């Protein structure tokens, strides 16, 4: 019988293999960032990027890059190389990447440039030459999708996930995958294989989760457009934490099939969404429009077949309901401040703000718990619910506390 490898050794081996993907010429000197908590300016100051590469990665969003490549301001190879280098820098600063396939990406970009040169009159694909990063859960043929679990190390995907295949068909260049929490079930991107992703705005703060690696990478402009997933905030939380744009579409709008999951096959749950994270809102719009125009049901039969209709602003003011708490959780001061600023800006824009008082969430939670845990003789497991500190329901805390306290439980579970 083959001995089971210790998970710590598995993690060390995987990290070593990942780090070898960074060329020596792209490696940072520690004096560029040691002791700093704000890392946003390091990529442009460290001397690794050329002047043109700084312009490519800092002066353009995804829409601007697509237009610049079309206008032959930059080649696909130049753009891809610039973002591969900047992503490597971002990884050394924040530990945001899981898989780096820079050489393959640059070769893909070279192929796109050659094909354009050979066929100069052929229409370019919608995302021709645009580098796009992906959350670790998306499968890419030949690459691991471990979502922080040792059992998935060394089992590369046999084929691309639906959204990866779709993006490639649109001319995009996939070049890296980004870190997540173990099983993607907390709001802090930390796991036993790759460790924790740091927030480049302030390394003392969380990068969020579960798409936290993507959030940190885009904040450092190691990517200007990435793809995450969201069921309970996994795009929205890291977008907020890192100061970038993110959009959770309705479920079924963007292909989701072909991802790594911690759940057993066939397990039912709340339907998640795949969606964009970017340096601008119009880049998120570019992604959604390109995906919908590409007839995504060709790649994932579960996708809702909706045509691209465009987004036209309403001429009438909107009526927007706002809840500042749910009677159990009171958001932390920064969250409250952000919500108040949003309300103020919406009011200034002429929209009608309607305060909402939510029903007693705690009482309803107990009712649901009783219904879901009733024995045949009518007894319930309410006594057990009082001991569930993990979900922090009966011990109200700021809104992200319940997800953060899950991390210490990993060490306990591993000892079982």
Q: Which residues are catalytic?
A: 135, 210, 234
Residues 6 or more apart in contact with residue 280 via CB below 8 angstroms = 61, 62, 63, 224, 245
Question: Which helix (DSSP H) or strand (DSSP E) does residue 62 occupy?
Answer: helix 62-70
* Number of alpha carbons in the 13 Å side-chain half-sphere of residue 139: 18
Q: What are phi and psi of 162, to 5 degrees?
A: -60, -45
Tokens of 237: 């939380």
Tokens of 47: 């001397």
Q: What is the dihedral of CA 94, 98, 101, 105, to 10 degrees?
A: -70
Residue with tokens 């409250």: 336
Single out the residue of 271, 354, 365, 270 nearest to residue 327, CA to CA.
365
User: Alpha carbon of 87 to those of 96, 108, 364, 390: distances in Å?
Assistant: 9, 17, 46, 35
In terms of Cβ atoms closer than 10 Å to its own Cβ (0-12, 13-18, 19+), residue 337 is: exposed
């Amino acid at each position: 019988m083959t001995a089971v490898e210790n998970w710590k050794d598995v993690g060390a081996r995987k990290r070593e293999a990942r780090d070898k993907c960074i060329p020596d010429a792209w490696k940072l000197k520690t004096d560029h960032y040691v002791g700093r908590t704000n890392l946003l300016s390091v990529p442009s100051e460290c001397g690794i990027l050329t002047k043109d590469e700084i312009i490519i990665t800092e002066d353009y969003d995804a829409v601007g890059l697509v237009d610049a490549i079309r206008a032959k301001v930059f080649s696909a190879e130049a753009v891809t190389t610039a973002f591969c280098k900047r992503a490597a820098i971002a990884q050394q600063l924040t530990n945001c990447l899981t898989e780096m396939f820079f050489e393959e990406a640059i070769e893909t970009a070279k192929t796109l440039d050659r094909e354009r040169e050979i066929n100069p009159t052929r229409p370019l694909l919608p995302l021709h030459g645009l580098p796009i990063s992906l959350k670790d859960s998306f499968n890419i043929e030949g690459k691991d999708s471990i979502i922080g679990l040792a059992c998935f190390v060394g089992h590369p995907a046999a084929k691309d996930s639906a959204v990866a295949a779709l993006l490639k068909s649109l001319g995009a260049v996939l070049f890296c995958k980004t870190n997540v929490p173990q099983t993607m079930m907390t709001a802090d991107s930390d796991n036993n294989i790759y460790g924790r992703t740091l927030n480049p705005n302030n390394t003392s703060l969380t990068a969020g989760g579960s798409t936290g690696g993507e959030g940190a990478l885009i904040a450092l402009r190691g990517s200007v457009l990435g793809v995450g997933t969201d069921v309970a905030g996994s795009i929205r939380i890291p977008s907020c934490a890192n100061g970038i744009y993110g959009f959770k579409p309705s479920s079924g709008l963007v292909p989701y099939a072909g991802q790594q999951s911690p759940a057993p096959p066939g397990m039912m749950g709340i339907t998640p969404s795949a969606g964009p994270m970017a340096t601008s809102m119009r880049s998120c719009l570019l992604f959604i429009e390109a995906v919908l125009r590409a007839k995504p049901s060709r790649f994932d039969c579960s996708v809702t077949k909706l045509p691209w209709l465009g987004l036209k602003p309403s001429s009438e003011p909107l009526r927007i309901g706002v809840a500042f708490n749910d009677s159990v959780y009171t958001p932390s001061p920064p969250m409250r401040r952000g919500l108040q600023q949003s309300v103020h800006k919406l009011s200034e824009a002429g929209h009608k703000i309607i305060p909402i008082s939510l029903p007693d969430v705690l009482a309803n939670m107990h009712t649901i718990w009783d219904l879901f845990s009733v024995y045949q003789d009518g007894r319930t497991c309410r006594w057990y619910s009082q001991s569930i500190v993990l979900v922090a329901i009966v011990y109200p805390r700021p809104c992200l506390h319940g997800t953060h306290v899950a991390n210490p439980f990993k060490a306990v579970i591993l000892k079982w």
